[in-house]
Amino acid sequence: MSLTGFVEFFQKGKTFRPKKRINEGTLRYSLYKQAQASLNSGINLRDTVKLPPGEELNDWIAVHVVDFFNRINLIYGTVCEFCDSKSCPTMSGGSRYEYLWADGATYKKPTALPAYQYISLLMDWIEERINDESYFPVSSDVPFPKTFGPLCKKILTRLFRVFVHVYIHHFDRIIAISAEAHVNTCYKHFYYFATEFNLIEPKELEPLVEMTKRLCKDIDYSKDPGPRIR
């Protein structure tokens, strides 16, 4: 499944919110294009997430965080009309997991919210940060802030919760529009990326651990060279 196909597929539907663009002509734009090209080449997804030689890790993480934000936004956009305070009164992942929202501003204490509201606040919170040049510098001459790593961990940890909610509560809708292969590819890419750079704590990944075992079977050739021909 090519990434271009994936994006075109979801652009037919309505978008939850506008897409964040990576400015054309910048170094990071060429890195973004490079990452897309390798995804489209059909090579092992686990390999496509590895940092290309000579590239800066923060640049690599920045383009992926923006890309995952856009793609998860599109995925949620396809189910959001089925996600309201009646269908999903809490931000849950089955009966075992419930997420509470806190942002240190409007919600100082962790607060139970309907999933739609939680995801809306979560996306706003991420959007604000990826559009803020003091967090995500646009020019590659401007250094990343020291807080960039922890911030990206928090962004990806929160984005993962959208996957949890969509997979556990709205996968019927994804199947109804034949989007499961697209969503699974996006999930695998996200999972390989986050685990390659330890950006999400293992306990946060628990709600989807069984599904991940079934889905994420691409072999890591850098760790396992596989059978050799003698």
Residues in touch with Zn ion (CB under 5 A): 83, 88, 115, 169
Those residues whose C-beta lies under 8 Å from the C-beta of residue 92, and which sit 6 or more positions away, are 98, 99, 115, 165, 168, 169
Those residues whose C-beta lies under 8 Å from the C-beta of residue 159, and which sit 6 or more positions away, are 68, 69, 72, 122, 126, 190
Q: Is there a binding annotation on residue 83? A: yes
Shorter beta-carbon distance to Zn ion: residue 13 or 145: 13
Copy the structure tokens of residue 83. Answer: 């996600």
Q: Decide if 188 contacts 215 (C-beta within 8 A).
A: yes
Shorter beta-carbon distance to Zn ion: residue 115 or 126: 115
Residue 117 C-beta: closest distance to Zn ion, Å: 10
Shorter beta-carbon distance to Zn ion: residue 83 or 199: 83
Residue 116 C-beta: closest distance to Zn ion, Å: 6
Residue 21 C-beta: closest distance to Zn ion, Å: 28
User: What crossing angle do the helices spanning 3-11 and 57-79 adopt, rounded to 10°?
Assistant: 40
Distance CA 70, CA 54 (A): 26
What is the amino acid identity at position 10?
A: F
Residue 174 C-beta: closest distance to Zn ion, Å: 12
Shorter beta-carbon distance to Zn ion: residue 76 or 144: 76
Residue among 223, 123, 116 nearest 166 (CA): 116
Residue 79 C-beta: closest distance to Zn ion, Å: 7
H/E stretch holding 92 reads strand 91-93
Q: Is there a binding annotation on residue 165? A: yes
Shorter beta-carbon distance to Zn ion: residue 116 or 136: 116
**Bind-site residues for Zn(2+):** 83, 88, 165, 170
**Bind-site residues:** 83, 88, 165, 170
